[in-house]
Amino acid sequence: MIWTGIAVGFTIMIISLYPSFKDMGIEMGKAIPKEMAKAFNMDMSSWQEVSGYYKTYFGFHIIIILSIFACSFGASIVSKEEKDRTSEFLLTKPISRKAIFLTKVLALMCYISFSFLAQTMILVLMIFAVVSNDVNWNHIIEMHINGYVLCLFFGAAGLLLSQAVMGVKNYMGPVVGIVMGTYFLHAIGSAIDDANWISKCSPFHYLGVDDFSPLSILIIMLLALIFLYTGFNIFKRKDIGA
């Protein structure tokens, strides 16, 4: 749970600093190039309200941390049975591959949900403890729903990766590449108007910190289910080494 601890610690730090930073947003915004601000969700003119300040850090730091955790855990939760040489013992039991796979997926969803819930609860407690002005809770809730769906998506992507790519001992490199690569597609497309089409190749474009679209959530969740279904079909047919 190291990644969860990092996300929680970062949340505590940034909300603790809010009283000191809320009045500095406009001046800081003048010193940052407009393209960079657009790429990293830095709307510093909105820092007077905590959700406007928080989205700057949630949209890049926190959601990236939790997405990497979700994707790496998804990549290891099934493949580690082969890596740890426990697959032969597991498959000799009176249990089907379907049951094994579904159990692993359920565990993956539970771990992702627990991590995201822990970070969200700490955020709420810190806001009550530190923030004295009005809070746009609707904005925070929408932001977190988008972030949670992104984590589920990357968890499913990591699981598919582990089934589609064989012989990888450590998936952390590919996982970081997937998460950071898709984020920077979004960042580049957001920063450069002529390259806006690039951002549409990234899930971060559809589940951002400012927009909330139930249709986008439905589509991303459908993609996650397709990833899981594809991963299951590969798992069901492949030879599993002991």
pLDDT band, residue 182 (cuts 50/70/90): very high
pLDDT band, residue 241 (cuts 50/70/90): low
| pLDDT higher than threshold 70 for residue 80 | yes
Please give the residue that has the higher pLDDT: either 227 or 184. 227
| pLDDT higher than threshold 80 for residue 158 | yes
230-240 tens-digit pLDDT: 999 998 887 65
pLDDT band, residue 79 (cuts 50/70/90): confident
User: What is the phi-psi region of residue 41: left when phi exceeds 0, alpha when psi lies from -120 to 50, beta otherwise?
Assistant: left
pTM greater than 0.85 (yes/no): yes
124-150 tens-digit pLDDT: 999 999 988 889 999 999 999 999 999
Tokens of 42: 């830095």
| pLDDT higher than threshold 60 for residue 173 | yes
What letter would DSSP give residue 195? G
Transcribe 12-74 into DSSP letters: HHHHHTHHHHTTTHHHHHHHS-HHHHHHTT--GGGTTSHHHHHHHHIIIIIHHHHHHHHHHHH
First CA to last CA across the chain, in angstroms?
28
What confidence score (pLDDT) does residue 86 get? 56
- Rounded CA separation 8/10 (Å): 5
- Rounded CA separation 108/166 (Å): 20
